[in-house]
Amino acid sequence: MQRAAAAVIVIDDTDVSLHDTHPLPESPNRTLMISEAITDHFPDIRRITEIDELDEQDECLLAVHAQAYVRHVLKQCESGDEEIISDNRDVRVCGQESKTAIFKAAAAGVEAVRLIMSGEATAVFCNVRPPGHHAKHGRGAGYCIFNNMAIAVTSLFAHYPKEEHRVAIVDWDVHCGDGTYDWLNDPHNEISSSVIFINTQQHFKWTYPHGRGKPNFEGGGNRRNLYSYNYACGFGDHEDVQQVWTEHIIPLLQQYQPTMIFISCGFDAHEYDLKTSELNFTNETYAWMTTQLKLICPRIVSILEGGYNDLALYEASTAHIRALLE
> Do 185 and 215 contact (CB within 8 A), yes or no?
no
The answer to whether residue 134 is catalytic is yes
Q: Which has the closest alpha carbon to 8: 36, 42, 35?
A: 42
Bridge-partner residues for 126, per DSSP? 11, 303
Does an H or E element contain 77, and which? Answer: helix 67-78
Separation CA 303–CA 108 (nearest Å): 8
107 sits in the region (left: phi over 0; alpha: psi -120 to 50; else beta) called alpha
> Do 218 and 197 contact (CB within 8 A), yes or no?
yes
- How long a stretch of residues is the chain? 326
Q: Which has the closest alpha carbon to 26: 303, 269, 320, 276?
A: 276
> Do 229 and 267 contact (CB within 8 A), yes or no?
no
- DSSP H helices, 79-123, are 96-117
Separation CA 320–CA 304 (nearest Å): 11
Pick the catalytic residue from 134, 175, 203, 320: 134
The helix/strand/coil state of 27 is coil
For 10, 16, 50, 72, 154, the CA distances from 77, given in Å and listed in that order, are 27, 14, 21, 9, 25
- The set of catalytic residues is 134
